[in-house]
Structure 1
């Protein structure tokens, strides 16, 4: 029975398409959010875009645990250690929830000072304080959604998070409509209503995800099992997770700093970048879905000792992802002006955003290279390498370059965007060279050879493939 089910769960396509639907709905949520908020004002859009960069940066504090737990779960399932995978899931949930709770308290208590420290323009401070306190107060919900979705996907079930994303998006869009426009008897409360809508939809999503999580592993999780804690497994989670967390934090905080540079240029540049973020998301949705599915697949294959298939899987994913993101970016070049017109009619903002569309054609293939090969390196436990490269390249090329060329030299948003492109390709080349070297894969192969020799000496043998070998990589 296992041999029939597992290829379905762990093939790249069957992992990727539900992830794409989920990510597309998240993109749709962001686009509709931006579209609806744009009916309030361009200032409100700038606040949402700025605040979301802050929230994304802070999520890295719990993504450290969630990502490490997700990769380790896939590895444990690949090596047929189902009970350990179950325990890893419980540990990841508890630690992530604690981090999310701490962040919620901080954001509710200090929204104004946080906005000021991050250089939000004075005219946006009042709106920013309101939005940060409401949505930031729900960071524990964001943490729970992140860890539960990641762990459920890592078991091979990518459909459940997708279906929950459908429901969450529908509820959020419906409540946005009611709060922004005062429909169906709801008060018309503007940007504060968007925050309430966000928290409400995420609360409902958390409840359903938690119910699915309880049944996601080989043995149902009972509430008394939530007390489980294994120091050895937690150390394994953190060995994988902390470099991932630093890597993610490096990217998100660098983006936050870059957004503060844009805020120095002016509110219109900040709004233009927010609108471009929305359009750019469309370009790499399929590519990102393939890369995320690839991470699960490579971790699973690696855990099962199928190193050659894991190595080849990355190039197959690149062969799919690169054409997809390039085609999507090309479509955006020709349709971008019309799409931007849905969000704003300010000619200055439109001209700024439109000027970035061709640069986006260069940006997206670099992002795909990073996503595929970086995720592959992380999946086999080489996350410290990607972390080191990110810390050095990202802050020198993207951040320092953006300030020197975009702000200090006064070349503006085009220079900042160009530095972001240079950063993506530089890190992509480093990841490509590292993956070609097969360092972690060779170490795994040597370990398997030693285990095989020990079994032959002790008469254990078995002569079969590793436990994970029943799963398909196609």
Structure 2
């Protein structure tokens, strides 16, 4: 047992640090620009939700590459793993251009559809456009990280995240307030910092893949460049299912945010502060979920899926322990933490209240991520798509509407709907994980 836990932690801790650095970067940036006022906090928060939707729609490529490469790595067939990586990268580049085009043409309209005030739309449109440009690089980076995690190189993925997130923080502060001789660009400066960081990360990831890893995996071989229609179809199908699953979740969160925006700008700001802080709970959830995908995928590739099931269980146990500790810290220090974001008493007190209520409820978000990661490892993507659609649109959105606009429970009603949704989703995925016939699990291959 202890040996298994050590193996899990060796993979999970670097992923945790990587996700923590990304979360910390977003948190520090929100604190920095938050000094410009509650309206700016609301703009950044809404933009984050919109970016989450843009990312989610195409994130299936990275998730698919992650589990396929993990299976290929376990099976000792990295020639196919590299070929699949090229196909995924071609897809990411094409979709990245589409994302940039959408940001250039429709950033203002998208903000308007969210339901924010006229002032929010006019002030935040160009910032959102810049965030779209950054996201174009972001989905390419996610594919590179999917490959690195698939081969178990979570430490390398962590180092890349740390190297590229520090400049984003420094540039955000420098360009927002015009320090050290740079122009004072306000919110626009924060958007430029994101583009710089994501672009730098793309360059570093490309160097690692094409140069540093070439000797071991032959990443520049002619076979790698060759395209296979069957493999392209497999990756497109699996990416589509996982992307729609993530998009279903993110779009429901977008509508949830639009509901909260109709309460008031301050309620929206408090909601975004609370979500930013609770994202620290998402950190171990994502990290251990990613670890479950790696381990389960590798065991499936080796032809020992029952060991993958055991690894998934141990990963969920360890991840839950991390969430309990983190929830306790959030519960005790909620007021002090929210006060870091803003001096607006109404905003930080409401945010602290939301955090205290949900400190331990985030365990269910953990269950969702841990066991969904395990199901991705065996390629059970169809179930994830179906359950995501059902709970998002037949539970979350209706409950949020009823609690906010019918019962008039305000921000607390919104968060009760959120965690009811996460509880049902998490338990459903966990049940599926244990009801799966693991003796019948096989390596994912392109259909002939």
Q: Do these two structures clear the TM 0.5 threshold for a shared fold by scoring above it?
A: yes
Distance in structure 2 (CA, Å) of the matches to 1:364 and 1:357 = 10
Matches within 5 A, 1:324-339: 324-339=322-337
Instruction: Give SS of 2:217's match.
Output: coil
Distance in structure 2 (CA, Å) of the matches to 1:139 and 1:284 = 20
| 1:92 is the counterpart of 2:88 | yes
What residue ranges of structure 1 are gaps of 5+ in the alignment? 1-6, 448-474
Aligned pair in 2 of structure 1 residues 197, 15: CA closer, same or farther (>3 Å)? same
| 1:444 is the counterpart of 2:445 | no
Tell me the CA shift for residue 245 of structure 1.
1.0
Q: Which moved more, 1:401-410 or 1:189-198?
A: 401-410
Distance in structure 2 (CA, Å) of the matches to 1:433 and 1:40 = 46
- Normalised by the size of structure 2, how large is the TM-score? 0.94
Q: Which moved more, 1:118-127 or 1:205-214?
A: 118-127
Corresponding residue number in structure 1 for 2:378: 380
Tell me the CA shift for residue 342 of structure 1.
1.0
Deviations 1:84-115 (A, max 9, x none): 01100111111011111111111112211121
Distance in structure 1 (CA, Å) of the matches to 2:191 and 2:224 = 31
Contact 2:62 2:145 in 1 (8 A): no
Q: Please identify the structure whose Cα radius of gyration is greater.
A: 1
Distance in structure 2 (CA, Å) of the matches to 1:194 and 1:327 = 32
Tell me the CA shift for residue 309 of structure 1.
0.7
Distance in structure 2 (CA, Å) of the matches to 1:348 and 1:81 = 57
2:202 paired residue among 192, 206, 223: 206
Q: Which moved more, 1:254-263 or 1:136-145?
A: 136-145
Instruction: Give SS of 2:213's match.
Output: coil
What residue ranges of structure 2 are gaps of 5+ in the alignment? none
Q: Which moved more, 1:406-415 or 1:29-38?
A: 406-415
Instruction: Give SS of 2:262's match.
Output: helix
2:133 paired residue among 127, 134, 137: 137
Instruction: Give SS of 1:322's match.
Output: helix
- Normalised by the size of structure 1, how large is the TM-score? 0.89
Q: Which moved more, 1:188-197 or 1:403-412?
A: 403-412
Corresponding residue number in structure 1 for 2:394: 396
Distance in structure 2 (CA, Å) of the matches to 1:47 and 1:333 = 27
1:305 paired residue among 303, 315, 339: 303
Tell me the CA shift for residue 213 of structure 1.
1.4
Corresponding residue number in structure 1 for 2:239: 241
Deviations 1:198-219 (A, max 9, x none): 1011111110101111143643
Tell me the CA shift for residue 225 of structure 1.
6.5
Corresponding residue number in structure 1 for 2:356: 358
Corresponding residue number in structure 1 for 2:292: 294
Matches within 5 A, 1:114-263: 114-214=110-210, 215-216=212-213, 218-222=216-220, 227-263=225-261
Aligned pair in 2 of structure 1 residues 225, 181: CA closer, same or farther (>3 Å)? farther
| 1:111 is the counterpart of 2:111 | no
Distance in structure 1 (CA, Å) of the matches to 2:72 and 2:363 = 32
Aligned pair in 2 of structure 1 residues 125, 262: CA closer, same or farther (>3 Å)? same
Aligned pair in 2 of structure 1 residues 150, 170: CA closer, same or farther (>3 Å)? same
Q: Which moved more, 1:350-359 or 1:182-191?
A: 350-359
Q: Matched residue pairs, number?
A: 439
